[in-house]
Amino acid sequence: MGVGIFLFIDSQANGPHDVDVIERLLSQAEPDEDDPAPIQVSPETLAAIEGMKDWRPIEEVIIWERAQMLKPVQAEVFSIVSKKLNAGSDTRGARSEVVKLLRDRGAQVSMPAVDSLGVVLQANMDLLRYYNQYSERSNLWEVESSEFYPAFEILVVSEPQCPRDWKSLWVAAGGVLREGRMVAKRNDPIWLKLSDFNFPFPPFRLDNELILESVDRNDCEKLGIECDGSLIHLPPLDREFELAGLL
């Protein structure tokens, strides 16, 4: 069930508007003259849904709005995400099962909604994978490797689905750009501050376009990051995994 999208127009909130109306407006080059109160929006228009802490690009907010459809069936969706992750991250299969589940419960799921739900499910699969690895201290989070690879770097590996400047977000969250790179020690609070989901690992947003890469000690020293060669013991996660994107 949608919650409605608020637009940030002329320095004030306008709405809420149905997501289907917003998508129609986005596809129009000019406002509909028959509309008694025409509104013109673009991918740069800022928006939010109830429960969001800040204004975001409208295409990102559409994904968040669609994610709320999962609230009534979140336990079943979590089960599907877990099963498909164990089967090799079958996002398409997870999306098909979730759409069928929603439609069986009487929800109207449009094709744009199907696409948005695919983004949400992919984000949750990635989050759950990293949640398990972090909890087990495996892969990137092996304690033994922190002696030689004490830091992580954000690498943007794909074209963002929504307009986003990660370097500006990095600085706003308290991070320091080092030779233009987003690098910080494994236990730096920046990793938690970047996340919409209160986890110190990606994805930090529902539409994920970045990865973490380990940075070795020599590189850290060249960038001015102090490293004494001691092991970095990360704090345990303080909560159970929950589906991301539900407000």
List pLDDT tens digits, range 152-195: 999 988 777 787 889 999 999 999 999 999 999 999 999 999 99
State the alpha helices, DSSP H only, in the chain. 19-27, 58-67, 74-86, 91-104, 111-136, 166-172, 190-193, 217-222
Instruction: Give yes or no: residues 187 and 71 share one domain.
Output: no
- Stretches where the chain sits below pLDDT 50 are 1
- What local confidence, expressed as pLDDT, does residue 38 receive? 66
Instruction: Give yes or no: residues 148 and 131 share one domain.
Output: no
Show the domain range for 41: 1-136
Instruction: Give yes or no: residues 195 and 88 share one domain.
Output: no
Q: Is residue 50 part of a domain?
A: yes
- What local confidence, expressed as pLDDT, does residue 89 receive? 72
Instruction: Give yes or no: residues 161 and 62 share one domain.
Output: no
The residue assigned the tokens 């850290």 is 220
Instruction: Give yes or no: residues 14 and 121 share one domain.
Output: yes
Instruction: Give yes or no: residues 146 and 177 share one domain.
Output: yes
Instruction: Give yes or no: residues 156 and 131 share one domain.
Output: no
Tens digits of per-residue pLDDT, 47-73?
A: 999 999 999 999 999 999 999 999 999
Instruction: Give yes or no: residues 2 and 112 share one domain.
Output: yes
- What local confidence, expressed as pLDDT, does residue 34 receive? 61
- What local confidence, expressed as pLDDT, does residue 86 receive? 87
Instruction: Give yes or no: residues 19 and 121 share one domain.
Output: yes
Q: What is the DSSP letter of 49?
A: -
For the stretch 194-202, contacts whose Cβ atoms lie closer than 8 Å and that sit 24 or more positions apart, written own/partner, are: 194/169, 194/170, 196/244, 197/127, 197/244, 198/239, 199/127, 199/130, 199/131, 199/134, 199/237, 200/134, 200/234, 201/127, 201/130, 201/131, 201/134, 201/140, 202/126, 202/130
- What local confidence, expressed as pLDDT, does residue 136 receive? 94
Residue that terminates a domain, selected from 86, 102, 136: 136
Q: Is residue 67 part of a domain?
A: yes
- If one counts the domains in the chain, the total is 2
- What local confidence, expressed as pLDDT, does residue 37 receive? 55
Instruction: Give yes or no: residues 6 and 89 share one domain.
Output: yes
Instruction: Give yes or no: residues 132 and 195 share one domain.
Output: no
